[in-house]
């Protein structure tokens, strides 16, 4: 975070230090989800949007890539607090109009956090920064397309261009985009998955022959041991907590390895169940290893050494 973010968007006087939580989700998650959704979308849009989230005939949540259960096994509310917040920001009624950009210079916008910028609403008009300009200015679509075309046609080779895409774009938009790029003459189409998972894809390809994970949801439900290393599902993809709860109910042991003892791996109060809403919830981790920062490699080497010592390798 830049220093100016702290000065402009955050007031330390409003911060409170409290004891760490001992559970995740529950009634609080429901209340916060609905509050944020209603603030941004209103009653009608909230109802119309959230009932379609992660449904077979609806749309995928953009907050994470956690897989959906098979159709017929999905809850009516198949989303988490993070998902509700993400959808509320995407489907907000707030608008960042050309007048907004006229009031705020580029230098001023640069002083705000990404969170603040996202809260200003959806852009309503194509905008451009002119050479020497201090503000983004509105531009008509025909001129915008011509400007982009001039830049692309001025390249010595189509391969000098990179067309970065969102991993959360719709299939239809992604298809049309890549069709245009390939017609232009290049396949430089990286997306956010390359930034997030390229090292994973290469390592998996070399290790198991495929660049993606081979585990299914049913594998998680039926697992006898689940090791979560450096992972905070309660923060990053809370829907995983319901899968861990199901595995736990089936007898799984869960080991969490992380310097941080995350509340979500201590106890999960599933908002979809009476036990989660008014009961004690479900304890998840059987053991938590709070290793030192950068201690992952040493721990894995110790695991490997013990497997050799015990002759527990898969020969």
Instruction: Tell me the β-bridge partners of 191.
Output: 165
What pLDDT is recorded for position 1? 43
CB 242 within 8 A of CB 26: no
* Coil/strand/helix, residue 122: strand
Tokens 């608008």 locate to: 95
| Domains of the chain, CATH where assigned | 3-90 (no CATH), 160-210 (no CATH), 211-309 (3.40.228.10)
**CB neighbour class for 57 (10 Å; exposed up to 12, middle 13-18, buried from 19):** exposed
Measured from the Cβ of residue 251, the count of other Cβ atoms closer than 10 Å reads 9
pLDDT digits (tens, 9 = 90+) for 57-95: 888 888 887 888 888 888 888 899 999 999 999 999 999
Sheet holding 267-269, edge to edge: 24-25, 267-269, 282-283
Q: What percent of the chain has pLDDT over 90?
A: 66
Output the pLDDT for position 231.
84
How far apart, in Å, are the Cα atoms of 244 and each of 84, 91, 253, 260, 283?
A: 21, 30, 10, 18, 10
Classified as helix, coil or strand, 195 is: helix
| pLDDT reading at 249 higher than 80 | yes
Print burial letters for 161-198: b (CB count within 10 Å at least 16), e (below 16). eebebeebeeeeebeebeeebeeeebeeeebeeeeebe
Q: Which residues does 179 contact at the CB level (< 8 Å), separation at least 6?
A: none
Q: How many Cα atoms occupy the beta-carbon half-sphere of 96 within 13 Å? A: 19
Question: 28 φ, ψ to 5°?
Answer: -60, -40
Name the residue with higher pLDDT: 195 or 301: 301
pTM of the model: 0.80
What is the reported pLDDT for 69?
A: 83
Residue 8's pLDDT band (boundaries 50, 70, 90)?
low
Per mean pLDDT, which range of 38-52, 140-154, 167-181, 299-313 is the poorest? 167-181
Per the CB < 8 A criterion, the answer to whether 238 and 265 are in contact is no
What distance in Å separates the CA atoms of residue 173 and residue 171, rounded to the nearest whole number?
A: 6
Query: How far from the centroid of its chain's Cα atoms is residue 253's Cα?
Result: 26
Q: Write the pLDDT tens digit of every residue in 220-247.
A: 999 999 999 988 898 888 999 999 999 9
Mean pLDDT of 161-182: 87
The answer on pLDDT for 6 being more than 50 is no
Is the pLDDT at 144 greater than 90, yes or no?
Answer: yes
Q: For residue 3, is pLDDT > 50? A: no
């Amino acid at each position: 975070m830049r220093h100016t973010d702290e000065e402009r968007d955050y007031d330390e006087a409003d911060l409170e230090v409290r004891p760490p939580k001992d559970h995740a989700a529950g009634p609080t998650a429901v209340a916060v989800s609905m509050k944020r959704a209603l603030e941004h979308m209103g009653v009608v849009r909230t109802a119309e949007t959230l009932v379609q989230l992660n449904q077979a005939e609806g749309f995928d949540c953009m907050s994470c890539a956690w897989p959906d259960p098979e159709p017929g096994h999905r809850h009516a509310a198949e989303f988490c607090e993070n998902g509700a917040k993400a959808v509320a920001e995407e489907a907000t009624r707030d608008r960042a109009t050309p007048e907004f950009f006229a009031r705020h210079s580029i230098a001023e916008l640069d002083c705000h956090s990404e969170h603040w910028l996202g809260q200003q609403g959806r852009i309503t008009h194509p905008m451009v920064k002119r050479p020497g300009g201090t503000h983004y200015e509105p531009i008509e679509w025909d001129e915008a397309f011509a400007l982009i075309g001039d830049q692309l046609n001025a390249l010595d080779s189509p391969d000098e261009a990179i067309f970065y895409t969102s991993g959360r774009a719709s299939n239809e938009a992604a298809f049309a985009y890549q069709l245009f790029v390939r017609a232009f003459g290049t396949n430089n189409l990286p997306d956010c998955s390359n930034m997030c998972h390229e090292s994973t894809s290469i390592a998996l390809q070399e290790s198991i022959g495929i660049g993606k994970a081979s585990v299914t949801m049913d594998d998680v439900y039926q697992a006898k041991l689940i090791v979560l290393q450096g992972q905070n599902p309660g923060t990053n993809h809370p829907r995983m907590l319901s899968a861990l709860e199901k595995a736990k109910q089936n007898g799984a042991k869960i080991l969490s390895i992380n310097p941080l003892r995350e509340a979500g791996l201590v106890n999960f109060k599933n908002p979809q169940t009476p036990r989660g809403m008014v009961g004690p919830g479900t304890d998840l981790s059987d053991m938590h290893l709070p290793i030192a920062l950068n201690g992952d490699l040493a721990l894995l080497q110790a695991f490997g050494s013990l497997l050799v010592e015990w002759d527990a390798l898969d020969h």
